[in-house]
Structure 1
Amino acid sequence: MRNSKTIPFFIVLSLILIQCKKEHNVINLLSAPDNWRKETITFPLSFAKSLEHKGTEYVRFAPGWGKQGSEEFFSYAFLWYLDNDPQLSSNRLESELEMYFDGLMQVVSNSDEDSAEAIPKAKAFFEKVDDHSYAGKVITYDAFTTKKEVHLNIVATYNYCENTNKHLVLFKISPQPIDHIIWDKLNKVNPNIDCI
């Protein structure tokens, strides 16, 4: 009897260790401190299928991302590592990020049927800073934590990587103003890729 209880415990423990190893070995092209959680998602994105990109999204979340009241709340970066030229413009960024956040918040809210129907549409505003960067804001619903509207400041930068023949669009996001210390941390999150 004692052995029958011991064997399942070791099986469960082995499965947990294998899963942790798999998660640890997932390559994420964004360099960030080890305590920044990471995700990798392949296009088409399940929550925003109308974004017609081909490639991968790499995400890094500040440790306080999901903690209301934290100075790092909703602060994160994501990289679109694309096969296709995204042909960025202020209008295109506005349109695509509205689709992105509308889809994301709708998927998260579907688990909460009371709020799913009341989600306001995202509004995005961007201005071109130079040939490679844009600054803007997205006003969206926070379906994850507060269940309220959140104003996200966003900096988007574009680069073409000749070494890999990929198009890189890096988004850095926080509700904190640009002069807040979290932006010093976000500005250190960058693609770990050799590009000419």
Structure 2
Amino acid sequence: MQYFNLRRFAVLLVILSGTSTLLAADAELAKHITVPTDWKGEQISLPPSFAREMKFKGLEEARFSPGMFQEKSNTFFSYFFVFKIDPGSELTQKNIERELLTYYQGLSRTIFNSRKAKVDTSGFSCELKKVVPVDAQKIYPEGLTEYSATVKWIEPFVTQKPQTLHLIIQVWTDKTTKDGYLFACVSPQEMKAEIWQSMQNIRDSFYRSLQK
């Protein structure tokens, strides 16, 4: 797996050290993710070191667009992640809102702290709205639920300014293993932007691979 050679991303890797090693036993999820060569990524444990208060346990695979840390890029802070969640966690709307809010609060706080700066995360928010999934290709896992979401937070890596992230979230539970899955596409771009189609294509490829 390749990584950004950007200083900002190196800071994140240091923060995640000790939890970001790709273990052989955890390679199963990663093998289903295919991205262009200029998309980089990481695997971390859940709960992550920057948000120990999260209740979900398992692992996260994240992949970052080429412009992830470039403020002027039309793919700035655009990425997707997949949570594989150990059996026993309920993937309800309330629980997902709680977990993602905790995730983004912890991430922002940790990055600001690494710069010896303070951030007030009390005003951060995460709101989900259930929507009807459009599965024209019939590739979505059985029982999948889709949400449109908005996260309002302070972006810590580049701008250190308030940012609104849009998310398309899909969740389901594997009928055999009982593992929970959460696939989220994330971007501050409007939904008509090209990056959303790019992430949808990657997501579709992921679902097709799961079926093999």
For Structure 1 versus Structure 2, the TM-score category normalised by the shorter chain is: 0.7 to 0.9
Structure 2: 5+ residue runs without aligned partners?
1-20, 133-143
Alignment of 1:113-192 (within 5 A): 113-114=116-117, 116-118=118-120, 121-130=123-132, 132-162=145-175, 164-190=177-203, 191=206
Question: Residues 173 and 166 of structure 1: is their aligned pair in 2 closer, same or farther, counting only changes over 3 Å?
Answer: same
- Bigger Cα Rg: 1
One-letter amino acid of the structure 2 residue matched with residue 87 of structure 1: E
TM-score after normalising by structure 1: 0.78
Secondary structure class of the residue paired with 1:31: coil
Within the candidate set 83, 89, 93, 1:90 is matched to 93
Identity among equivalent positions (%) equals 26
One-letter amino acid of the structure 2 residue matched with residue 47 of structure 1: F
Q: Does the alignment pair 1:68 with 2:71?
A: yes
| Larger fraction in strand | 1
Two-structure CA RMSD over aligned residues (Å): 2.4
Counterpart of 2:136 in structure 1 is: none
Q: List 4+ stretches of structure 1 deviating above 3 A.
A: 117-121, 162-165
TM-score after normalising by structure 2: 0.73
What is the count of residue pairs matched by the alignment? 173
Counterpart of 1:110 in structure 2 is: 113
Cα distance in structure 2, aligned partners of 1:31 and 1:55: 21
Cα distance in structure 2, aligned partners of 1:82 and 1:195: 19
Structure 1: 5+ residue runs without aligned partners?
1-21
One-letter amino acid of the structure 1 residue matched with residue 92 of structure 2: S
Could you tell me how far 1:52 is from its partner in structure 2?
1.5
